[in-house]
Structure 1
Amino acid sequence: MKKIIFLLAITLIFTACKDATKDNGKLNIVTTTTMLTDLVQNIGSDMVNTQGLMGSGVDPHLYKASEGDVSKLVNADIIFYSGLHLEGKLVEVLEKMESSNKTTIALADALDKNTLIGSEYFASNYDPHVWFDINYFEQFAKKVAAVLSEKDPKNAEKYEANKNAYILKLEALQNNIKQTIATLPVEKRILVTAHDAFNYFGKAYGFEVVGLQGISTATEAGVQDVQKLATFIIEKQIKAIFIESSVPKRTIEALQASVNSKGHDVKIGGTLYSDALGNAGTLEGTYIGMFEYNVNTIVNALK
């Protein structure tokens, strides 16, 4: 990390006297997570150049900037990141960008902290997985549109129109998933996953959420954690537990083996997308598609 910070500092010194590189006069936007990349692409469309640092299956809790990321960050006009210490290993780098007068936006700063879920696992003291409440993601969309409009006023009306159209899609998503969840009996709405990425989802849609590794994947699940959760699964007669695409599946497989060894049949209900979207070009590679896929997978497995 020290090497990356040094490279960043040197590069910023040499580029301090000139504007960030633009292609065809478009704003250069850098995003951290795949959710934010998809969001900016929906609002900015072909009016901006968008580059994401992280790809499908990448864990933002553990992601470290590479040397190749340095030029992307230095040449960015705007950097959007989630915040709330989600990108824990990138904090130093992002702070360096802010101190160099780069437009660096933590989108979670737009949220009312009084409504967030507290967490002792993060320096922010909040659970950072806020995109699993669609209402919060709508606020992200509004903030992105406002920042793009401020930096590129000639396209402000288009950004505003794109934002309004996208929010209508998010509202339709909200209605669709509520209808799907309504088909699952309340007593079966217990979601067991690799780590606690789904607390905002649980709060919004009435699920009890239990993660084996806690909120941050930087923490390791021990034998006692597995045994304790296995007992909980048996007591609640839970039919299925879930792997996450950005977390190694071995912990959930160990949990399944522990439960099955005690005489209760629990299945792995599928793989959920938590801290990253699916592959680009697929339905799950979009925020809306990811959300629909997750809800369908959860409800079908727990019925």
Structure 2
Amino acid sequence: MSSPQQDAKLLDLERRAKVQTGPLVPLFPSKPSKRQLPQLPPRSSAAPFGPQRPGWRLDSFIVPAAFPRSAQGSTQHPTPAPEKPAAAGSRVKVDANGVYEQMLTAQVAAHQGQVSIEDKQELDDQEQLYLAVNRYRPKKRREGGQQGLTLVFAHANGFHKEIWEPTMADLLDQLEHPSQPQALPVDEIWALDAVNQGDSGVLNESVLGNAFNWADHGRDILNFVISYLDNPSSPDSTSTELPPLQADSSLLALDTESRAEGGASPSSRLWRDRIIVGIGHSLGGGGMAYASSASPSLFSSIIFCDPVLPWP
């Protein structure tokens, strides 16, 4: 049970916690990493939608997250896993208020100002983080006809990318229903795990710091779209690690330079011959807001599901 003094201290920390405003930190090339990424467990089936959509398949990849991170304390040097994890069913007493205070203190300190891209020591100290991403597409690629959509999903806080799969299957049913003859077909779907959640959390567990900047989630989405989302007709990658693609430096500068707004109609806003629709829930909605406001020319449209948005 907390004391009145501790409650007052926590309230003061909550009031001082700020979200980032203003231009996003530019994107740099990913940083070479010496650490061995852990092996992710395989899916039980390559058919992500089961009998509802048997013609679709799933492929999983790993891509670097945005570098550098915007807030100090976002990463730490690798820490070894505990030699003897707690036994299943065992109870460990945790000071919840103390842990919460530590988290808030780290967040408040991290958001006093953005990391400077001129701070060589900070950039040298930061670890490269990674994203786990899923690609969903028909086993047989569609030929000819209308240009299809590429959907990019971002999940809510505490969830993971696979949480979207029932929604994806229902959405495909609706878009391809005979009553919707004008609907554009869906060529591909991508879903991303936030750096500290889902499979990404497993990949980054040993180097995650105590600070998390929501703006970096938007930068992670942009880094994926700009540097790793290839033309849909390009050859398939033979590796689970997608190769980086060439991109214009003005795009990597994000909104620190003047932005290209793109075409007037959604279908005219193409990126590498894709019509990209960003879909984000809560934290993912906030990430999509950061991404689309910094680089509006990349997205044909954005769908927000109960988004958590900062002040503009």
Give TM-score, length-normalised by structure 1.
0.24
Structure with the largest fraction of helix: 1
- Relative to the length of structure 2, the TM-score reads 0.23
Structure with greater contact order relative to length (CA < 8 Å, sep ≥ 6): 2
